[in-house]
Chain A
């Protein structure tokens, strides 16, 4: 039963890969990296939940697996606070 679960996840991953490649040929401008990054996040979530088998004992795994991403929020957030406000500085 679980083998079928992995096969379905694998097929969905390949489908998402195809979708990501297809999106590269669409004329959607700045939305392209957004769509592709979104697809990558979805794929990564599938890898973590299905292939890295997050559900199951010990349930503390969720906390350990999420820690890196939690700290990434700070890294991205504080870095963006810099880049997003730079244009507000007087030029020259």
Chain B
């Protein structure tokens, strides 16, 4: 039974239709994520507008270099992810695995840099409620900046961790030869999620790392 020719799920006419529906489903999920992160970013800008001076002083302590490196890492991982999808469309099985492995590696690299950044943040006494030292010239809203920083980057890191798990699952599928040029929807859908998580960082980076530099 299991060795018979693969067939689309019974509610679909063919694999093409099944793949298209899967993509639309992921875009619906992404719409909810857009509203979730959109609300967070909006709230941040409201507070930044209300407490401009304090946010500028607090934001100066964010590690610009580490944030920028991570932005470049994520941008590159979106490239490797889409190249894995293209490889599936062209039936280049080994290339799928190679690009996916690179994507996972970049994901872990991002988390590693982020983890190191959290360590340095702790040493700098900018972790609200845990280890926060009010520096001269700081007001209470400066702590608020760091609350936003940890909520936003923390939730983003959780999303990325889920993404890494999903890409690892795709590598398992690929190793079993589950992706053909006719049907590689799971890979495509995971790619959409991965690129969206990259997108979120594009908004978090200028909000959290580029304050008070001029």
Kindly list chain B residues whose C-beta atoms are within 8 Å of the C-beta of A27. Answer: 214
Tell whether, in the assembled complex, residue A75 and residue B45 are in contact, meaning their CB atoms are under 8 Å apart: no
Known pairs A58-B24, A67-B27, A71-B35. 4 more at Cβ < 8 A?
A14-B72, A65-B31, A68-B30, A68-B32
Which of B111-119, B150-158, B174-182, B197-205 lies at the interface with chain A?
B197-205
- Interface size on B (CB < 8 Å)? 47
Cβ-closest chain B residue relative to A17: B71
Kindly list chain A residues whose C-beta atoms are within 8 Å of the C-beta of B192. Answer: 52
Cβ-closest chain A residue relative to B198: A47
Kindly list chain A residues whose C-beta atoms are within 8 Å of the C-beta of B48. Answer: 33
Q: How many A-B residue contacts, CB cutoff 8 Å? A: 125
Cβ-closest chain B residue relative to A35: B206
Tell whether, in the assembled complex, residue A61 and residue B23 are in contact, meaning their CB atoms are under 8 Å apart: yes
A-B contact pairs, 11 of them (CB 8 A): A2-B86, A10-B76, A24-B210, A25-B213, A33-B48, A58-B24, A68-B34, A68-B38, A71-B31, A75-B38, A83-B46
Per-residue contact bits, chain A 16-36, to B (CB 8 Å; 1 contact, 0 not)? 010011011111100011001
Tell whether, in the assembled complex, residue A20 and residue B27 are in contact, meaning their CB atoms are under 8 Å apart: no
Tell whether, in the assembled complex, residue B30 and residue A57 are in contact, meaning their CB atoms are under 8 Å apart: no
Tell whether, in the assembled complex, residue B210 and residue A72 are in contact, meaning their CB atoms are under 8 Å apart: no
State which residues 38-91 of A face B: CB under 8 Å.
Answer: 39-40, 43-44, 47-48, 50-53, 57-58, 60-61, 64-65, 67-69, 71-72, 75-76, 79, 83
